[in-house]
Amino acid sequence: MGAREHPPDGRTVIGGRQRVLVAAAASHVVATAAPAEAEERVEAPDGEVAKPWVTIVWNDPVNLMSYVTYVFQTYFGHSKEKAEKLMRDVHEAGRAVVSSGTREEMERDTEAMHAYGLWATFTKDA
C-alpha cells in the first residue's frame, strides 16, 4: 500500500500508521420521563386526608432543651406548651414527630432542623 490507501475494511493508512474511520449513523435519541407516581391519599377516620410523611427530631447530646423548645416555637409556630411537650418527648423518648405533610414539606422541615443544628429525619408515616 502507498502513502494513502484505503483497504477494503474501511481503515485509512497514512505513512504506515492506521486510523480507523467510524461512520456514525444518524441516530435519534428519544428521552421519555417515567410517569410520576401519584402521591398516595390516605383517608383519616374522620374523613380528612391523612398526611403520610412525618419529620422526626432525635435527641442529641449537644443542644440545650431551651434551645430545642425555641426552635419548635420559632420554626413550626408551636405554642410554648406544645414546644415544651415535644422537647420533652425528644429528651425522654429519644425522638418526637414534630410535623406531618407531603414528602416535599417534610424534606423542607428536615433541612430546616439541620440548619438549626438539630438531628432530624423524615419518613413515611406507618
pLDDT digits 0-9 by tens, 20-79: 443 333 334 344 344 444 444 445 555 556 679 999 999 999 999 999 999 999 999 999
| For residue 19, pLDDT beyond 50 | no
Strand partners, 14: 4, 17
- Mean pLDDT, range 5-16, rounded to an integer: 52
CATH topology of domain 47-124: Ribosomal Protein L30; Chain: A, (3.30.1390)
pLDDT tens digits for range 111-122: 999 999 999 999
pTM higher than 0.75: no
Cβ neighbour number for residue 102 with a 10 Å cutoff: 12
Three cell numbers, residue 73: 416555637
Residue 115 to residue 98: CA distance in whole angstroms: 16
Domain coordinates in residue numbering, the chain? 47-124
Contact call for residues 42 and 48 (beta carbons, < 8 A):
no
- Name the amino acid, one letter, at 105: E
